[in-house]
Each structure stands twice: as structure tokens, then as C-alpha cells.
Amino acid sequence: MTLFSKKNVLITGASSGIGEALAYEFAALGANLILLARRGERLDLIKDQINRKYPDQKIIAYRVDVCLDKPLKQAIEESIEVLGPLDVVVANAGFSVAGNVLDLSLEDYRRQFETNLFGVLRTVKESVPSLKTTQGRLAVVGSVNGYVALPGISAYAMSKFSIRALCDSLHHELLPLGISVTHIVPGFVVSEIRRVNNRGELRDLAQDPIPLWLQMEASVAARKIAKAIYQRQRERVVTGHGWWIVRLYRLFPGLIFLLVRAFKIKARSEPSL
């Protein structure tokens, strides 16, 4: 019997990157899936591929933007009506706004927080009542930048710092209800996030500024994440470099600042193609 046999798993941002990889991973572990993302055609393709490989498992896909209250609420309610209560929820949807503080507009910051923070809050608020009935598992995808903020990604780092605080509070609040909260902290994982501009639009021709040798395959990250969720870990840092960065920040925060200054480390710029 697989780890999540017949469990109902909901994933936001499931059309690419970590979200897509998690869909395949949870399917391999026996779960029924509720996949949410803005790109419906990509979701349909993923759904069809999983259905062909695992014909006995149930999969529902909704074209939903986590920034919109009613469509997200309706999708979650409908999925519960069809499949039953939720066992696992992965709040994964997000993107990255890049640019120096003085160059970004207030609207850029609002757009970043609307998806990365309020999108998570909407997902949590709509799914926790169902998770209570199963004493289920909630996972929220943050980032190593939720610990270490670099020049050029203040908006993204702020949103992920907020996610870390949210997970800490939720851990204490949901523990009496039997719901575990796992804060997922990825480093560099193969995905489209670094080819998405500040308006959340994918730039297909843009090059990923991070060398491939420094990135973890999304399927490997998904396997580690699913295991952490199953074990109800409070936090899981994914990728070796991410683990060392977070550990250094916790033990020697001043050293991180010195290294960023000494090596003039700067985050990526917005893709323009």
C-alpha cells in the first residue's frame, strides 16, 4: 500500500515546476488529486497523462487564480463534494517580482503579496475546515529567500518572510485540531519561476539565470517534499545549498550580510523576452 493511498490531495499552482512534480509524485503514492492553476490547458495535459498511468485514481482539475476569492472557494467546495474531505493541501502557487526597491511600484508589491501571501491565506481558510475532519496535513511552499533577502528581490523575499511567519503561527493554532503544518523551503529547483516577469507572465524565450548544475530536478524535490508532508515535519529545506544557507543564517546572520556585500551578490533581474 502506498503512503497516500486513496487520500485526497489538493495542490495549487499545479501546472508547472514544483506543483506539477508534486502532482505526479502524489499520484505515484496512490492519492486522488485536485489540481488548481491559472493555465487550464496545462492542467488538462497533466491530468490526461496521470490518468493514463494511474487509471484507478480520481483527478479533478480547475482553472483557478488564487487571487480570486469566489472561484477558489467554489473549486474547493466542488472538489470536496465529488471526492470527500481533504487529507492534504499544498499551497504552492506563487511567482517572483524582481527589481530594486526604488524602481518597483507599490502596485508591484501589491501584486506580489496578492498571490504569494493572500493566495495562500485564501487556500488555508477555505481548506482547513475540511482538513479538521481528517486531521490532515497542510503544506505551504516558501523559499530560502524567506530567510535570506538579497538585493533585487525585496518584494519576493518579503512575501516569503511572511509565509514563514504564517506557518509558525499556523503550526501552533492548528496543532490542537490534529492538523500538521509543514513549511517547505526550496532553494534552486528546476521551474519556470525565473522566466516569469513582474506581472506573472511567462517569457518562454527568457534564459534561466541560474546554472542548471545548481538546480535540483523538480521530481527529486517533490519526492523530498511528499516525504516531509507524510512525516508531518514542521519544516523541510529542499536542496543542499539551501540547507547550508538557512543554517548559516540561523547561526551567523551577520556573516550572510558580509558575504553578500563582499561578493556583491545580487538577485536576478526581471526577464524581458
How deeply is 156 buried, as exposed, middle or buried, from its count of CB atoms within 10 A (0-12, 13-18, 19+)? buried
Residue type, 77: E
Which position has the grid cell 477555505?
A: 126
SS3 245: helix
| 156 among known catalytic residues | yes
Q: Are 128 and 113 in contact (CB under 8 A)?
A: no
Q: How far apart are CA 206 and CA 196, in angstroms?
A: 9
Beta partners for 90?
11, 139
Q: Which of 54, 156, 230, 249 is catalytic?
A: 156
Polymer length in residues for the chain: 273
| Residues annotated catalytic, as ranges | 156
